[in-house]
């Protein structure tokens, strides 16, 4: 099976911002399409998301990005065999010729990598999660097992994902006390719905942010966590036993002149922010903290890991940007204990596999993640199951760009009846 034709399209993500979809057609008339997400809070070392500039879509259009690829990239791919993800992605990387994919753009490259992965599954007549599992096991990490991921559900939004005074970007719940994915998801949905009732009673807005969570006009992490705690209890569940908390601090967004500046004008040093996070973790059952410090504050990260790393999952997002070389540096310095995996941060599926494999080899957890600007594509659901990642972060059970991933996972769960480990996913 060889590539016969490639077509790319300028489409819209969940924020109404242009992104790219690419369709690859084979000589056997197989067709698959890959949709690319985009982020608002981005790490400085992410692969380059290329845009047109100018006036169209306020400079965020991708029509010229597509045109450049049509003229200079696609012709080089026609006639390639479908099947080896590594070979295909290596060709994309070679043709781009830059470390961060700035020539053609990681967005167009990823759309092609995604479409190829889906085509490979179709060619082998396998469900996508099964194909990913087999390929990952044979080429990267032989010990991997398929399983259902523990959801990390963003139900309260702040930071760059909402128009309020809440400094931390995401307040999430994890349904740890259940024996199946479906039971855990039901719990998350019920807590989310009770949170809406709680907010309404208190006179807060129940408008949702970019990732489907509510974005009320509250001012502090403590207030957010108290609201979630009461909603868990009202829904008939127990805090800690059934549901734990996860935070995405997105601390890089807070750093100004070497201080972490909060909306109340409070300015914290790295050590002070670490102490604040430690106190929060003592007061509430916070089992995961993402980007607790700035992406370049590696000395601070060393201290944070020493302070909280044995009892709390510390997730590097902006810190590692799904890049195996940066992750290796973090491993060497004993920084964090988990990596957030976003396919568009690195730009190809093969490189994503490399990062996941490296994490597994060093006992780091992997959390497969969406972006704030999502599409209806549910690839990451299959990715989480196929690579046995154990956790998925894909927003609130709200907005079709988020629920499409949960619905795909529900379907996989119903078809396969895979293991769901719950709280055990958070234990190294």
Domain extent listing, the chain:
3-124, 150-426
Answer yes or no: is pLDDT of 428 > 90: no
55-86 exposure pattern, b = at least 16 Cβ within 10 A, e = fewer = eebeebbbbebbebbeeebbeebeebebebbb
Strands 365-369 and 390-393, how do they pair? parallel
CATH 3.40.1180.10 matches 3-124? no
Question: How many angstroms from the chain centroid is the CA of residue 60?
Answer: 22
By CB atoms closer than 10 A (0-12, 13-18, 19+), residue 233 is: middle
- Count other C-beta atoms under 10 Å from residue 311's C-beta: 12
Is pLDDT of 160 > 90? no
Closest CA to 348 of 322, 330, 329, 314: 322
As a dihedral over the C-alpha atoms of residue 261, residue 288, residue 334, residue 303, rounded to 10 degrees, the angle is 40
Confidence at 162, pLDDT banded by 50, 70, 90: low
Query: Poorest-confidence range of 43-47, 56-60, 142-146?
Result: 43-47
Q: Kindly state the average pLDDT of the residues 218-235.
A: 95
Assign 35 a pLDDT band (cuts: 50, 70, 90).
very high
Model confidence band, residue 89 (pLDDT cutoffs 50, 70, 90): very high
How deeply is 414 buried, as exposed, middle or buried, from its count of CB atoms within 10 A (0-12, 13-18, 19+)? exposed
Asked which of 58-67, 135-144, 154-163, 278-287 is least confident by mean pLDDT, the reply is: 154-163
d(CA 118, CA 21): 13
Mean pLDDT value across residues 97-116? 97
Which residue is listed with tokens 């994309």? 92
Would you please indicate which residues are annotated as catalytic (active-site) residues? 211, 342
Whether residue 32 contacts residue 115, with contact meaning beta carbons closer than 8 Å, is answered with yes
| CATH numeric code, 150-426 | 3.20.20.120
What is the per-residue pLDDT across 204-224, written as a single tens digit (0 to 9) for each?
Answer: 989 888 899 999 988 899 999
Given a cut of 90, whether residue 354 has pLDDT beyond it is yes
Neighbours of 272 (CB within 10 A): 13
CA triple 235-238-240, angle to 5 deg = 130
Are residues 342 and 39 in contact, defined by beta-carbon separation less than 8 angstroms? yes
User: For residue 228, is pLDDT > 70?
Assistant: yes
pTM: 0.96
Using one digit for the tens of pLDDT, what is the confidence trace for 311-353? Answer: 999 999 999 999 999 999 999 999 999 999 999 999 999 999 9
């Amino acid at each position: 099976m060889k590539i016969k034709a490639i077509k790319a399209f300028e489409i819209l993500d969940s924020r109404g911002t242009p992104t790219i979809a690419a369709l690859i057609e084979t000589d056997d008339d197989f067709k698959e399409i890959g949709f690319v997400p985009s982020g608002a809070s981005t790490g400085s070392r992410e692969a380059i998301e290329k845009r047109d500039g100018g006036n169209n879509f306020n400079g965020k259009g991708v029509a010229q990005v597509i045109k450049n690829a049509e003229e200079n990239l696609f012709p080089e791919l026609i006639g390639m065999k479908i099947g080896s993800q590594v070979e295909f992605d290596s060709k994309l990387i070679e043709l781009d010729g830059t470390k961060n994919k700035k020539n053609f753009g990681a967005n167009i490259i990823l759309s092609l990598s995604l479409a190829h992965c889906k085509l490979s599954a179709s060619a082998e007549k396998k469900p996508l999660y099964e194909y990913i599992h087999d390929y990952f096991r044979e080429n990267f990490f032989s010990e991997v097992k398929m399983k259902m991921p523990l959801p990390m559900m963003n139900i309260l939004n702040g930071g760059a994902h909402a128009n309020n005074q809440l400094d931390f970007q995401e307040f999430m719940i994890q349904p740890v006390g259940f024996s199946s994915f479906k039971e855990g998801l039901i719990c998350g949905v019920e807590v989310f719905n009770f949170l809406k009732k709680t907010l309404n009673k208190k006179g807060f807005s129940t408008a949702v942010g970019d990732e489907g969570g509510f974005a009320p006009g509250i001012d502090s992490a403590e207030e957010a966590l108290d609201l979630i705690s009461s909603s868990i209890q009202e829904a008939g569940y127990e805090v800690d036993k059934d549901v734990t908390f996860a935070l995405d601090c997105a601390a890089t967004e807070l750093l100004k002149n070497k201080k972490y500046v909060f909306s109340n004008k409070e300015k914290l040093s790295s050590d002070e922010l670490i102490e604040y996070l430690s106190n929060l973790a003592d007061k509430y059952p916070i089992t995961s903290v993402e980007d607790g410090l700035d992406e370049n504050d590696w000395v601070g990260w060393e201290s944070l890991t020493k302070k909280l790393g044995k009892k709390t999952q510390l997730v590097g997002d902006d810190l590692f940007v799904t890049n195996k070389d940066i992750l290796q540096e973090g491993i060497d310095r004993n920084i964090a204990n988990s990596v957030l995996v976003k396919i568009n941060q690195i730009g190809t599926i093969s490189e994503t596999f490399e990062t996941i494999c490296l994490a597994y080899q060093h006992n780091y957890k992997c959390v497969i993640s969406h972006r704030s600007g999502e599409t209806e594509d549910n690839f990451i659901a299959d990715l989480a199951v196929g690579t046995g990642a154990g956790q998925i972060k894909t927003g609130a059970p709200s907005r079709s760009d988020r629920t499409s991933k949960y619905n795909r996972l529900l379907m996989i769960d119903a078809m396969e009846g895979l293991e769901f480990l719950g709280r055990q996913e958070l234990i190294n």
